[in-house]
Structure 1
Amino acid sequence: MVVAMLLGMATLYPVWRLLTSGDRGDWTRILEVDLLAMATAMTVPMVLWMLRRGHRMRPIVEMALAMYAGFVVLFPFLWGGMLGEMGVMMTGHVLMPLFMLGAMVARYREYAHAH
């Protein structure tokens, strides 16, 4: 899953940046939008990999939500001025795998056997 996520971040996210490389005042330059685009770039290949490996839809959705949650939970700290843009980006990348691990622990049987 992690390899799929890294491939998505290395391939899909640059496409997003290229497609939205217009005006710097554009809505696509809002940090929250950009972070959600980055999470999407990582989530799409991870979902495809999980589908290929035979996971059920519910655990796939839970894993995808865990990936987004790593960033979304930090938005109030950004809005409140407690974290800067780089702090949100770095902390979100740390929280994402921790939330994913939480999703895996919650569905141990789903992830503990060979697919």
Structure 2
Amino acid sequence: MTTTTAMKPRRRWGRFALHYVEMIIAMFVGMFALGALFDVLGLSVSHSQYPELGYLVMAFNMSVGMAVWMRIRGHGWASTLEMCAAMFVPVVPLFPLLWLGIIDGGMLMLAAHVAMFPLMLAAMLRRLDEYAGCAH
């Protein structure tokens, strides 16, 4: 038997999960759309030749996708910038490992992309009411 009090937390976490999926989709849309545009314009960066710059451009592209979607959904700049930071923060410990030759460009990309997802989740949990509420 379900009561309205039992459904409310479920609905709240459902909204939160949906928003998380939306952020992932927006991130990939930005990455692929702007990446394709940069390719067409001849501005693409070789990830194998310039892994740092390649990653930063990709993080920028993902951030643009998420920022556009978050602003459409009515989020403020603080939460939007926190979500975008989740794209850039993973390289703080990874760039030195790359420079020391401990990891290569491929490992940089893999580790940074894996780290983004829990960082995005942490940013969302920090503002749980904003991401799980009905305001957006």
- Where does the alignment leave 5 or more consecutive residues of structure 1 unmatched? none
Q: Is the 8 A contact 2:31 2:65 kept in 1?
A: no
Q: TM-score, normalised by structure 1?
A: 0.85
Q: Is the 8 A contact 2:86 2:120 kept in 1?
A: yes
Which amino acid is 2:119 matched to? F
Aligned: 1:8 with 2:30 = yes
Find the residue that maps to 1:65 and give its secondary structure: helix
Find the residue that maps to 1:73 and give its secondary structure: helix
Aligned: 1:20 with 2:43 = yes
- Where does the alignment leave 5 or more consecutive residues of structure 2 unmatched? 1-22
C-alpha distance 88-46 of structure 1, shift in aligned 2 (>3 A): same
Identity in percent: 39
Q: Distance in 1 between matches of 2:82 and 2:44?
A: 32
Which amino acid is 1:6 matched to? F
Q: TM-score, normalised by structure 2?
A: 0.73
1:20-45 per-position Cα deviation (integer Å, ceiling 9, x unaligned): 259x7xxxx52111101011111101
State the shift of 1:14 in Å.
Answer: 2.4
Q: CA RMSD in A?
A: 1.8
Aligned: 1:91 with 2:114 = no
Find the residue that maps to 1:90 and give its secondary structure: helix
Q: Distance in 2 between matches of 1:33 and 1:64?
A: 17
Q: Distance in 2 between matches of 1:89 and 1:53?
A: 29
Q: Spell out structure 1 runs of 4+ moving beyond 6 A.
A: none
